[in-house]
Amino acid sequence: MDYPDKFIRGISSVSHINADGRPTSEIFLFNENAQRTDGFSEASINWCDDDDALSFTMEQRNNNAYRFQYGVAIVERMYADGIVRNPIYKDIFKYERSGLPDNKYHGNLLLKHEDKAIKKQIRTQIALTFASYAQIIPREQN
């Protein structure tokens, strides 16, 4: 499958960014409660398929409130590919496109339920890599 060069991760909590406006490792946490049959946990993203993906993501709402109250982080896919190709993480980390009826851009970063030490190591690698290179687009706070 062909993927765009960038993906977007929403910033829904003030704990996802530090005082300097850089993302913290918490922005890239995986949903361990998702009931997937393949043994992976998800971190929801939107793929930057076109020029409308960013505005679509910024405008998403839950109960009339912005879903990503603190903006978004844009990450180049090449950083995810670097982790995917790392032999240490073979078959443990990957990504997918997973369109939804109301979100054609939707996808997931996926992390396999593994040994706790390996899972902690790869979560740290993902957080450090993505947080280091993410472009943050903050939402104007009123």
The pLDDT of residue 91: 86
The pLDDT of residue 30: 81
- Closest by Cα among 62, 45, 54 to 3: 45
Which residues of the chain fall short of a pLDDT of 50?
142
The pLDDT of residue 141: 59
CA–CA dist 123, 117 (Å, integer) = 10
Query: What's the angle, vertex CA 37, arms to CA 34 and CA 38, rounded to 5?
Result: 100
Query: What's the angle, vertex CA 57, arms to CA 69 and CA 95, rounded to 5?
Result: 110
Which three-class secondary structure string do you get for 120-139?
Answer: HHHHHHHHHHHHHHCEEECC
